[in-house]
């Protein structure tokens, strides 16, 4: 008889952690989008993809929070895009999303639903 318990982290929205390539993504939608980005990179449209890219949200030299964007995407022309794959939009997420867009106006922010 096995006396140990297996513990795993459940997603509060019942999203299923999904493996694509060599990493796990928070949902099937996010893993599927990672695959789409890989195909776009192979086609030459994208130069670089950075998953879970950390953005520091600082206002007047005060650190407010960190925001981990699902993907930082650098297009072949050098344009930077931040891609967020989202299911449920909670108030804290909305605040961080708006703050990120205000603090980094040169980046393009794309929401994938």
Query: Is 69 inside a domain boundary?
Result: yes
Q: Residue 8: pLDDT band by 50, 70, 90 thresholds? A: very low
More confident residue, 6 or 75: 75
Alpha-carbon distances, residue 69 vs 96, 103, 108, 109 (angstroms): 10, 14, 12, 10
Residue numbers of the domain that contains 103: 19-112
CATH of the domain at 23: 3.40.1350.10
Q: Is the pLDDT of residue 5 over 50?
A: no
Q: Are residues 63 and 76 in contact, defined by beta-carbon separation less than 8 angstroms?
A: no
Average pLDDT of the segment spanning 69-90: 95
Query: Is 10 inside a domain boundary?
Result: no
Average pLDDT of the segment spanning 85-110: 94
Query: Is 2 inside a domain boundary?
Result: no
Query: Is 7 inside a domain boundary?
Result: no
Average pLDDT of the segment spanning 86-98: 92
* Residues contacting residue 23 through CB under 8 Å, at least 6 positions apart: 34, 51
What total of structural domains would you count in the chain? 1
């Amino acid at each position: 008889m096995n006396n140990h318990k297996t513990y795993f982290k459940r997603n509060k929205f019942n999203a299923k952690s999904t493996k694509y390539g060599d990493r796990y993504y928070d949902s099937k939608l996010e893993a599927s989008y990672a695959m789409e980005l890989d195909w776009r990179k192979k086609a030459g449209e994208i130069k670089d993809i950075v998953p879970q890219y950390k953005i520091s949200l600082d206002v007047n030299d005060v650190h407010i929070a960190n925001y981990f964007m699902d993907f930082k995407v650098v297009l072949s022309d050098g344009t930077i895009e931040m891609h967020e794959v989202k299911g449920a939009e909670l108030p804290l997420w909305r605040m961080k999303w708006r703050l990120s867009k205000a603090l980094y106006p040169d980046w393009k922010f794309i929401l994938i639903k």
